[in-house]
Amino acid sequence: QFLYFIGSLRRMSASGADGAAAASASPACASPTGEGPKPLEHSNDNLVKFNTFDAYSTAAQCKKTIGKGVAPAADAAPGTPEAISAALRGLVRAGKNPKKPTIFMAFDTAANRDAAAALITANVKTRGKFWTLEQVTDRDLDLTHKAGKKERAGTQVGDGAEQGPSVAPWMHLAYAEQLRRKAAHCVGILKTINKTSCIRDGALRTGAMLSGVIASPQRVAYRNNILFTCGVDGDGTPCVGFQAGQSVAGKHDVLPADGIPTVHPIALAVRDSFMANVFAKHADALPMYKKGEQKGFWRKLHVRHNKDAEVMLDIEVNPTGVSDELLAAAKAHLQSWAAGFAASVPAAEWDTPDDSATDVAGVAALATEVPAPSATARFVSLQWHLYEGLSTAPTETPRETLFGGPALVQKLFHLEFDLSPGAFFQVNRLGCERLLSRVATECELRRESTILLDLCCGTGTIGLCLSDKVQRVIGVEMVAAAVENAKVNAARNNVTNAEFVCGRVEHALMDVLSKLPKDADVVAILDPPRCGVHADVLRWLRNCKTVRRLVYISCDQRALETDCEPLCKASTLKCHELPFRVCGSFGVDLFPQTPHVEMVVTLRRTTMEELDAYAAENAARRQRVEAEAQQQPARPQPAAE
C-alpha cells in the first residue's frame, strides 16, 4: 500500500492536479494484473476503495462523515442529505467491515466514481488524516461480489432430476420419502439434545422418543400466504413471480410461479388479473421494479386468502420519481379493479394418505378432510404501502387501504382471527390445526388450575385456541400491532381469560413470572422466530419452579438444539433450579415439497429422586465396568530382546 501511495504521488506530479483524481481513481478499479476490471455480473466495474483511518465506523457513519467534510465544497449545510448526495452522486452501494478502516463504494458510471474520489480525498478526513484511495484487488472484488460464495444451505436436496426450485425443492420426491427424511432429521436433533442433557436418555439416543411426523392433510396448493416479487425475467419481459436467486449473488431475474406445487390457484388468479388489468394499463409510466438498478414502480404483491376465498392484497410500490397525479391515477385504477375482481377458482387438490406414507417408520399419517368445492375469489381488502429502501420493508410500514377493510378474517378451529398484512399466521391452516391439537395433549392442561404462558405469541393464535382448556392465558409479544390484533381476536371470540403483554420476552418475562402465585401450575409454550430466544428467557424459565412443563415449537431446529442446552444441563450458579428433560417429541409437516418441518419437543421438570436415581445408576455402571476390567486376564508383556 505504501509503494502504491508513492506511485500515486508520482503520477499526480506528472499529470497535474486536474488529472490527479482520475489517475488515482481509475487504477483503484482495475485488476492489479493489468487486465482491466474483473468480468463479473455485479456492478464492480466502478468500485472504489477508501482508507477512512477509522476501524470501528459503519458505512452509515462514513456517509455522515462525508456529508460534513464536503459541505463547503458542495455549498450545503454540513451533514445534510444535500451534502451527502453531492459527494455520492450515482452511488449504487457502499459496504464496510466495522472492524477494518476501508470502505468500498460502487457507482453507476466511471464519471461519478472519479468525481466522488476527487471530492472525498480532497475534503474528508478522520482525526486530521485525509481519506486516501487504495487499490482494489481481485480478492476485494470477490469479497464485494458474492456470486462465488456457496448457496445458502438447505435450498437444494440432491442431484439431477431430484432438484426443484428453491421455493419447492422437494417437489420431485415421493411424499413418503419426504416424510422419511424429515423423521430422520428430527431423530438427529434429539440425539444432539441428548448429548447436552444432565440425564442421558436411551430413547433420545436411539430416536425412540420421536412419536412420528404428522403428514399434512393438503400437500399441494396449501399456502394461504404468497409474496410475489415484481421484476423482469432474463429476457427483460415484465414478470410477477419469485426471484431466481439471491440478491447478494447479483441474481435479480424473476421467474413465473406457474408449476410450483405449493402456490394456491387464488394467488395465481390475482397475479394474472393484475398483469392484465392493472400493469398493462400503466406499463410505460409505471414499470416493474428492477432490483439491480433500483428503478421502477411495482415491487411486490402480497396475496393472502382464507377458506372462503376472500382475498387480501398488499402492494408495495416505489414512489421515487412518480408524480402525485400519476400516483392518484394508479390508486383510482386499483380501486376500480378490486371492486370488479371475481375469479372462479377450482377446488384445491387434495391427496389421500396412501399405504407408502403410513408404512414409513416413525411417521403418522392423518385422514384428510373432504375437499372444499370450487369458489369465486373476491377482494375484502386491498392495501398498498410506499417504500424506497433497498431491502425488505419493515413490518410496521404504514399501509393505505384502497378497497375494503384493513384486515382478513382467518378461521382456525371454531375461532376467527383478524389478520393485518404483516401479521404472522401459519401458511398451512389445516396442518396448523393438527399441530395445535397435538400440542394441547402434550401440555397436559388442567381447566381449573393451569396458567398458560404463550411466549412469542404473535396474534394470540396458540393461546386463544387453548384458552378453553386452561384457567388463564398470558401472551407475551414484542410487536405492538400483533398484540393489538391478539386483543381484538380475544374480544371477537369472547375469550375473557386471556391477557397479552407487549414487550420483548427477555424484558417482560421476569415481571410476568414474579406476579404468579408461588404454587401456580404453569405451562409454557415457546414458539420463537427462527433465530430462537434470548438466553435470559431460558434462564428465567429454568429458575421458575412453578413452570412444570415446557413445549418448544421449532421451525428452525438449529435454534432448538442451542436453546435446549441451558434448560436440560446440570445445575449451575445461573441455572440453579432443577433441570428439564425431554419427555416427548413429534413433527408436523406444515411445508410439503420442502425440507422444512415443524418440530415440537416437550420438556418436563425433573425431580431430585430422578437425579439421585440417575447418579446411582451411573455409579453402579462405573463399578461394573471397573470390575469387568479387573476380571479380564492381564495382557502378556512382550519378551525383552
Annotated binding site for S-adenosyl-L-methionine: 426, 477, 527
Cell of 286: 409505471
- CA pair distance 115, 73, nearest whole angstrom: 12
Name the catalytic one among 29, 443, 531, 555: 555
Q: What is the DSSP letter of 131?
A: -
- CA pair distance 433, 264, nearest whole angstrom: 19
- Is 364 within 8 Å of 215 (Cβ atoms)? yes
Buried b (16+ CB within 10 A) or exposed e, 582-610: bbbbbbbbbbbbbbbbbbbbbbbbbeeee
Identity of the residue numbered 622: R
> Which is it for strands 547-554 and 521-526: parallel, antiparallel or unpaired?
parallel
Q: Is 555 a catalytic residue?
A: yes
**CB neighbour list of residue 444: distance below 8 Å, 6 or more residues apart:** 523, 549
- CA pair distance 141, 26, nearest whole angstrom: 15
Buried b (16+ CB within 10 A) or exposed e, 368-395: beeeeeebebbbbbbbbbbbeeeeeeee
- Is 560 within 8 Å of 527 (Cβ atoms)? no
Q: CA distances (Å), 100 to each of 52, 55, 56, 587, in order? A: 9, 4, 7, 44
Q: Strand, coil or helix: what is 547?
A: strand
> Which is it for strands 254-256 and 298-305: parallel, antiparallel or unpaired?
unpaired
Q: What angle (nearest 5°) sits at the alpha carbon of residue 478, between those of residues 447 and 154?
A: 95
Tell me the H-state helices in 236-354: 265-277, 324-340
- CA pair distance 453, 586, nearest whole angstrom: 21
Helix, strand, coil content of the chain in percent (nearest 5): 35, 25, 40
Annotated binding-site positions: 426, 477, 527
**CB neighbours (10 Å) of residue 100?**
12
| Residues identified as active-site | 555
